[in-house]
């Protein structure tokens, strides 16, 4: 039993300031004194076997571990051991990826400095000059080198992220608004709303030449050399079709009839193209042969709003609130889930638990028993991050952090009453939220404390350790990982 307990502490050392931890810190401090005021406990630490000494070090804060290097040659060797630093990395930065090609001590110090930069708001700013041409709240795409953003007249502009120099403009259509942008290799693809549907435009990013454009419904899918979307004759998709365009030339390569399609349900899953329509029918096509593989009938006469697929099942949500579970192999209906709510807007599957977002609630279903495990009402949105469930409360404006396993409340991130707030990004250490009133906040994920907040934010984006803000006509990228000396 002792061996098992030691192994447990090695993998999951305690983080709270317990009595045992304070005792160990005191013992280590006495060993680090320049005088001979050593405590009995401190002397005992120097006589422990190396394995046990390493366990002791794992109980200490990183500053105390650094101090132990001054105790003696043996402690200096133990505190410099790379296996110890690998355990410290997993202890202090759970969820972060470690490279096997780089020293664990280097990775720890690098990540540690980045975290201090976030806490102290230290960063390298990149101010992007926009002038009067910037379209506030427009679509932005950021990669390692460039920022692509919407200009007035539904045009697109590219800025170099490092030099903040404007590089290129791509023509737009006055009166339209760009809904989203796909930055794919040498191609730049945009979808803008025309009021009677939408339009896709494709540019060569290197030359700036517009390659082609066409009218289509929302939802674009890139697949090898094709761009897939649904087209029709107007905003109502009575005679709609799914087309496969050559992504470089815009030539139509394949076509699938899809009357009354809900284009937002269009999904590519391996060799199959799956979509639902406004009558409640779901169709599965072979994307290469363009042949119908299976049709799932409209059991509820209600539009398909969303669905997800697993290896064996297809789970569909409908506008009338019913959820159906189908066998993907034979098309048989397996289960029907109904909680008496309306409009299933999103589905997420975690093992045997299904999280369904309705118009005003979130329900967690146990699929084997078809029972609702818990229900959270008064919700205007929900997001899942690993084993955490974030729900936006409609009345209070707060965002609640709950456990996926039982819905238990962990903590609440305060908001403004009757102001819709949502989670825009999460990482292992932080939660980024935005509100409809332009308030953006950064929270400590472990403690729930507010780290930073920004007002009048029109657009925000997070990519690794860079934060992009569009506020009052200014575009700024804050790089928290720059200029770090390890």
- Full domain range(s) for residue 88: 2-120
Percent of the chain with pLDDT over 90: 37
Q: For 65-81, how does the pLDDT look when each residue is reduced to its tens digit (9 = 90+)?
A: 777 777 777 778 888 88
Listed in sequence order, the residues at least 6 apart from 4 whose beta carbon sits closer than 8 Å to its beta carbon are none
Res 458: pLDDT: 80
In a domain, 338, yes or no: no
DSSP 100-161: TTS-HHHHHHHHHHHHHHHHHT--EEEEEP-GGGB-TT--EEE-SSEEEEEETTTEEEEEET
Residue 335, C-beta contacts closer than 8 angstroms, at least 6 positions apart: 324, 325, 367, 370
Give CA separation, 109 vs 81, 89, 91, 445, in Å. 14, 9, 13, 21
Label residue 460 by pLDDT band (50, 70, 90).
confident
Residue 324 lies in a domain: no
C-alpha 86/C-alpha 105 separation (Å) is: 7
Whether residue 318 lies inside any domain: the answer is no
**253-283 pLDDT, tens per residue?**
999 999 889 988 999 998 999 999 999 999 9
80: in domain: yes
Is the whole-model pTM more than 0.85? no
CA dist 320 and 455 (Å) reads: 38
Give 39-63 as a 3 state SS string. CHHHHHHCCCCHHHHHHHHHCCCHH
Count of alpha carbons within 13 Å of 453, Cβ hemisphere only? Answer: 12
Task: Quote the distance between the C-alpha of residue 13 and its chain's center.
Answer: 28
Instruction: Please give the residue that has the higher pLDDT: either 290 or 196.
Output: 290
Q: If pLDDT is split at 50, 70 and 90, which confidence band does 299 have?
A: confident
- Whether 12 maps to a domain, the answer reads yes
What is the Cα–Cα distance from 356 to 347, expressed in whole angstroms? 5
Flag whether pLDDT at 188 surpasses 70: yes
Q: State mean pLDDT over 205-217.
A: 87
Count of domains forming the chain: 1
In a domain, 33, yes or no: yes
What is the chain's mean pLDDT, rounded?
A: 82
Q: Give the C-alpha distances (Å, rounded to integers) separating 343 from 6, 318, 347, 357.
A: 50, 6, 11, 8
304 burial type by CB count under 10 A (0-12 exposed, 13-18 middle, 19+ buried) = buried
- Which has the minimum average pLDDT: 33-37, 48-52, 264-268, 442-446? 33-37
Give domain status of residue 94, yes or no: yes
In 3D, which of 229, 225, 230, 267 has the Cα closest to residue 249?
225
In tens, the pLDDT along 96-123 reads 888 888 999 999 999 999 998 998 888 8
Element (H, E) at 25: helix 19-32
209-237: b or e for each residue (b if 16 or more CB lie within 10 Å)?
eebbebebbbbbbeeeebbbbbbbeeeeb
Which of 72-86, 147-161, 355-369 has the highest average model confidence (pLDDT)?
A: 355-369
pLDDT higher than 60, residue 93: yes
Q: Note whether residue 367 is domain-resident.
A: no
Give the integer Cα–Cα distance in Å for 195 and 186: 29
- In this prediction, residue 471 carries a pLDDT of 77
Question: Taking a C-beta distance cutoff of 8 angstroms, is the pair 287, 272 a contact?
Answer: yes
Question: What torsion, rounded to 10 degrees, do the Cα atoms 306, 307, 308, 311 define?
Answer: -170
């Amino acid at each position: 039993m002792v061996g098992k307990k030691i192994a447990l502490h090695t993998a999951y050392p305690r983080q709270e300031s317990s009595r045992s931890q304070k005792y160990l810190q005191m013992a280590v401090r006495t060993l680090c004194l320049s005088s001979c005021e050593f405590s009995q406990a401190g002397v005992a630490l120097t006589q422990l076997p190396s394995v046990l000494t390493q366990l002791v070090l794992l109980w200490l804060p990183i500053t105390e571990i650094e101090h132990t290097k001054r105790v003696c040659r043996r402690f200096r060797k133990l505190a410099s051991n790379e296996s110890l630093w690998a355990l410290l990395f997993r202890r202090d930065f759970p969820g972060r990826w470690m490279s096997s090609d780089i020293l664990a001590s280097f990775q720890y110090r690098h990540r540690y400095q980045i975290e201090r930069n976030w806490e102290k708001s230290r960063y390298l700013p990149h101010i992007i000059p926009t002038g009067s041409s910037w379209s506030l709240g427009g679509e932005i795409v950021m990669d390692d080198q460039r920022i692509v953003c919407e200009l007035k007249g539904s045009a697109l502009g590219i800025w170099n992220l490092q030099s903040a120099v404007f590089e290129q403009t791509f023509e737009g259509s006055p009166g339209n608004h760009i809904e989203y942008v796909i930055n794919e290799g040498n191609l730049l693809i945009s979808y803008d709303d025309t009021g009677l549907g939408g339009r896709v435009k494709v540019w060569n990013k290197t030359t700036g030449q517009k390659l082609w454009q066409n009218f289509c419904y929302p939802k674009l899918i890139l697949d090898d050399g094709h761009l897939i979307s649904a087209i029709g004759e107007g905003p109502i998709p009575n005679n709609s079709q799914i087309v496969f365009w050559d992504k470089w030339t815009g030539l139509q390569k394949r076509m699938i009839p899809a009357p009354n399609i809900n284009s937002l349900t269009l999904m590519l899953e391996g060799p199959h193209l799956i979509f639902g329509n406004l009558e409640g029918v779901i169709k599965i096509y072979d994307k290469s042969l363009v042949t119908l593989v299976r049709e799932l009938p409209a059991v509820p006469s209600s539009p398909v709003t969303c669905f997800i697929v697993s290896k064996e099942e297809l789970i569909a949500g409908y506008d009338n609130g019913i959820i159906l579970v189908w066998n993907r192999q034979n098309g048989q209906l397996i289960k029907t889930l109904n909680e008496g709510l309306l409009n299933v807007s999103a589905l997420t599957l975690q093992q045997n638990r299904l999280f369904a977002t309705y118009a005003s609630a979130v329900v967690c279903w146990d699929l084997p028993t078809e029972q609702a495990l818990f229900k959270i009402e008064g919700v205007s949105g929900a997001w899942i991050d690993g084993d955490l469930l974030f729900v936006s409360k409609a009345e209070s404006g707060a965002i609640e952090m709950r456990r996926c396993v039982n819905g238990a409340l962990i903590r609440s991130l305060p908001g403004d009453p009757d102001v819709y707030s949502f989670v825009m990004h999460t990482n292992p250490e932080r939660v980024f939220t935005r509100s409809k009133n332009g308030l953006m906040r950064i929270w400590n994920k472990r403690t729930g404390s507010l780290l930073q907040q920004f007002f009048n934010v029109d657009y925000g984006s997070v990519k690794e350790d860079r934060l992009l803000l569009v506020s009052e006509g200014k575009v700024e990228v804050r790089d928290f990982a720059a200029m770090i000396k390890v």
